[in-house]
């Protein structure tokens, strides 16, 4: 998870890197909970978030390929943006003073990425 977080470009004028960072922190927390407490539920939560993120990235990649293809065949017509990709917020974190601010952000988060 640390590598994904390190790859974020925080200098862009968008809140997406901060929201993705919060999701990565959440996944890392859930993985720690799963291994520390030997519980499956946090692992299921982490898996669900990662699957949703992977699906969103695949959709964005497909949109970019389609846009590039359309642009190369019709240079005079600008490519239209594709449909929005919505990443649902993960399940709330358990009460933990270390993660209380992150938990609030994750509860409110509903990432909307558009091409």
106 neighbors 93 (Cβ within 8 angstroms) = yes
Task: Tally helices (H) and strands (E) across the chain.
Answer: 4, 2
Q: What share of the chain is helix, strand, coil (3-state, %, to 5)?
A: 65, 5, 30
pTM above 0.75, yes or no: no
Residue 94 sits in which domain range?
A: 2-113
pLDDT tens per residue, range 17-43: 898 899 999 999 999 999 999 999 999
Q: How far is CA 101 from CA 41, 83, 107, in A?
A: 22, 31, 10
pLDDT tens per residue, range 31-78: 999 999 999 999 999 999 999 888 888 888 888 777 766 666 665 555
Number of domains, the chain: 1
């Amino acid at each position: 998870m640390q590598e994904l977080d390190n790859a974020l470009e925080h200098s862009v004028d968008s809140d997406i890197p901060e929201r993705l960072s919060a999701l990565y922190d959440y996944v890392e927390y859930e993985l720690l909970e799963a291994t520390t407490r030997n519980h499956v539920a946090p692992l299921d939560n982490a898996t669900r978030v990662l699957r949703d993120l992977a699906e969103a990235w695949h959709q964005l990649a497909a949109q970019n390929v389609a846009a590039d293809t359309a642009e190369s065949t019709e240079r005079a017509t600008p490519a239209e943006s594709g449909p929005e990709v919505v990443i649902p917020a993960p399940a709330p974190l358990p009460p933990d003073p270390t993660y209380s601010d992150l938990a609030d952000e994750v509860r409110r988060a509903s990432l909307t990425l558009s091409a």
